């Protein structure tokens, strides 16, 4: 299930030119399966129409306490505060920040804010001098002290024509913040996770190396899933064409030897180690000091076996640690995966086959089977790698949850 699926998100829109960004944000949230309702202040309606946000959210836009003064139909701020899983005030103007910081309750949005029992996020938007003013900074500090969270504004060209900090965070950034918020899991609190990812490169000479087709996408997706869940994640990655993941520690390496040293020197402090890297099994016995010249029709290379990182740690693992490895097979898949599970002392092995369309190296998708110590096999359909990562996350979280119940 997507983290935002069925979540109730209340958005408070205030009077800023950045209000136009909320239209895109609402679309993104609805697409993720969230139920969105919008409250607009009177000044917000000068920048975007209630009809637009009502159409996008698929819910009536709220603006005042009374829907109809003649009949007494009104918008109950207490019920709205209880309904919402989260209140996001975006854009949050300097005026709104000041009112929230000081408990001024003069409209529906302020009444809902004061009634909220769950999380509140602010996405400030204003000119750079207004943002930097000591009064605004004091209000932001006060708002944070109440337990609210602030999504820091970005740097760039502002409506005034000046350039600096003050732009409301982009909708995609806000979506990511809310995704992380709803992805946090109590089972993951305090857990430390080490993930290896990507290929290794074994040098033949200063120009050439031996490697494989691993893209690192699966390992990076796992890093994101476990980090979003609230784990402290370290990634040790070989060379890939991906932006480094946002984790507690990122360690770039090239060779199998470098990955071995980085992993073995760290593994004892982790609760879970996931071996998602495609580490070279063999490396050149000697690296030529100069470029090897083309001479003759054939070239013979002496290769030596690299140190098996997973097997080394499997022999040295601590009692509380969980180990998960990957097995990419082309024949006798299940038999080979079960043998790897036992040989390397894993708790789980994730099997995928190059015979399955859309699985394996380079794809945005993967199709896996997971085998545990008891030889139970769980089969999953072909999915995007981020969803595969979430499936594996659930397996580990369920394991930790059971351990906590019996500890």
Considering the four listed CATH numbers 3.60.15.10, 3.30.930.10, 3.90.870.30, 3.40.50.10300, the one that applies to the domain covering 185-280+302-406 is: 3.40.50.10300
8-182 and 185-280+302-406: identical CATH topology: yes
Closest CA to 44 of 114, 8, 85, 96: 96
Assign a CATH topology to domain 8-182. Answer: Rossmann fold (3.40.50)
- Residue-by-residue pLDDT tens, the chain, 407 positions: 688 999 999 999 999 999 999 999 999 999 999 999 999 999 999 999 999 999 999 999 998 876 656 665 667 888 898 999 999 999 999 999 999 999 999 999 999 999 998 899 999 999 999 999 999 999 999 999 999 999 999 998 888 888 889 999 999 999 999 998 998 888 998 999 999 999 999 999 999 999 999 999 999 999 999 999 999 999 999 999 999 998 999 999 999 999 999 999 999 999 999 999 999 999 999 999 999 998 888 989 999 999 999 999 999 999 999 999 999 888 889 999 999 999 999 999 999 877 777 776 767 888 999 999 999 999 999 999 989 999 999 999 999 988 877 66
Q: How many CB atoms lie within 10 A of CB 320?
A: 10
Give the C-alpha separation, 331 to 335, whole Å.
Answer: 9
User: What pLDDT does residue 360 have?
Assistant: 66
Strands 86-92 and 73-74: unpaired
Q: What are the residue ranges spanned by the domains of the chain? A: 8-182, 185-280+302-406
Are residues 84 and 8 in contact, defined by beta-carbon separation less than 8 angstroms? yes
Binding residues for CTP, as ranges, are 281, 291, 326, 340, 344
What are the angstrom distances between the C-alpha of 215 and each of 65, 202, 206, 349, 362? 54, 16, 23, 19, 5
Instruction: Give the total residue count for the chain.
Output: 407
Buried/exposed code over 230-261 (b: 16+ C-beta within 10 A; e: otherwise): bbbbbbbbbbbeeeebebeeebebbbbbbbbe
Residues with Cβ within 8 Å of 305's Cβ and at least 6 positions away in sequence, in order, are 281, 282
- Binding positions are 281, 291, 326, 340, 344
Tokens standing for residue 376 = 């139970």
* Predicted local confidence at residue 331, as pLDDT: 87
How many beta carbons lie within 10 A of that of residue 111, not counting itself?
18
pLDDT of residue 35: 97
Both structure tokens of 134 = 């000591």
Q: Please give the helix or strand (H or E) that residue 350 lies within, else none.
A: strand 348-353
Q: Which residues contact 164 (CB under 8 A, 6 or more apart)?
A: 128, 155, 158
pLDDT of 13: 98
* Residue 32 in tokens: 């993720």
For 406, counting Cβ atoms within 10 Å of its Cβ (0-12 exposed, 13-18 middle, 19+ buried), the class is exposed
Model pLDDT, residue 354: 77
Catalytic residue annotation:
212
Q: Give the residue from 364, 374, 370 showing the smallest Cα distance to 393.
A: 370
What local confidence, expressed as pLDDT, does residue 294 receive?
87
The span from the CA of 80 to the CA of 85, in Å, is 10
Closest CA to 34 of 79, 2, 60: 2
The C-alpha angle 114, 174, 61, rounded to 5 degrees, equals: 55
Structure tokens at 368: 């896996």
Distance CA 396, CA 335 (A): 23
């Amino acid at each position: 299930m997507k983290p935002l699926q069925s979540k109730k998100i209340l958005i408070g829109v205030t009077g800023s030119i950045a209000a136009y960004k909320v239209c895109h944000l609402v679309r993104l949230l609805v697409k993720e399966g969230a139920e969105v309702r919008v409250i607009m202040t009177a000044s917000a309606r000068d920048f975007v129409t209630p009809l637009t946000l009502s159409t996008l959210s698929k819910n009536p836009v709220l603006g005042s306490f009374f829907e109809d003064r003649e009949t007494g139909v009104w918008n109950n701020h207490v019920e709205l505060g209880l309904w919402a899983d989260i209140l996001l005030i975006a854009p949050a103007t300097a005026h709104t920040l000041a009112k929230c910081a000081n408990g001024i309750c003069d409209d529906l949005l302020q009444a809902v804010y004061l009634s909220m029992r769950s999380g509140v996020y602010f996405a400030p938007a204003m000119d750079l001098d207004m943002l930097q003013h000591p009064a605004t900074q004091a209000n932001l500090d006060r708002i944070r002290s109440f337990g609210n969270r602030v999504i820091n504004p970005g740097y760039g060209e502002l409506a005034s024509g000046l350039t600096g900090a003050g732009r409301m965070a982009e909708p995609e950034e806000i979506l990511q913040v809310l995704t992380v918020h709803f992805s946090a899991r109590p089972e993951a609190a305090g857990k430390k996770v080490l993930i290896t990812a990507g290929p290794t490169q074994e040098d033949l000479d200063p120009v050439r190396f031996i490697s494989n087709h691993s893209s690192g996408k699966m390992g990076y997706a796992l890093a994101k899933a476990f980090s979003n869940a609230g784990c402290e994640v370290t990634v040790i990655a070989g060379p890939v064409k991906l932006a480094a993941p946002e984790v507690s520690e990122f360690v770039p390496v090239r060779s199998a030897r470098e990955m071995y040293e980085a992993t073995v020197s760290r593994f004892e402090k982790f609760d879970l180690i996931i071996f998602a890297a495609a580490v070279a099994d063999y490396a050149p016995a000697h690296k030529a000091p100069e470029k090897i010249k083309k001479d003759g029709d054939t070239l013979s290379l002496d290769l030596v076996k690299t140190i098996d990182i997973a097997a080394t740690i499997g022999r040295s693992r601590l009692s509380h640690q969980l180990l998960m490895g990957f097995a990419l097979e082309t024949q006798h898949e299940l038999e080979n995966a079960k043998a790897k599970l036992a040989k390397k002392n894993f708790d789980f092995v994730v099997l995928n086959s190059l015979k399955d369309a859309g699985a394996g190296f380079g794809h945005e998708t993967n199709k896996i089977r997971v085998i545990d110590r008891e030889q139970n096999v769980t089969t999953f359909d072909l999915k995007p790698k981020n969803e595969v990562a979430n499936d594996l996350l659930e397996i580990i979280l369920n394991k930790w949850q059971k351990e906590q119940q019996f500890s």
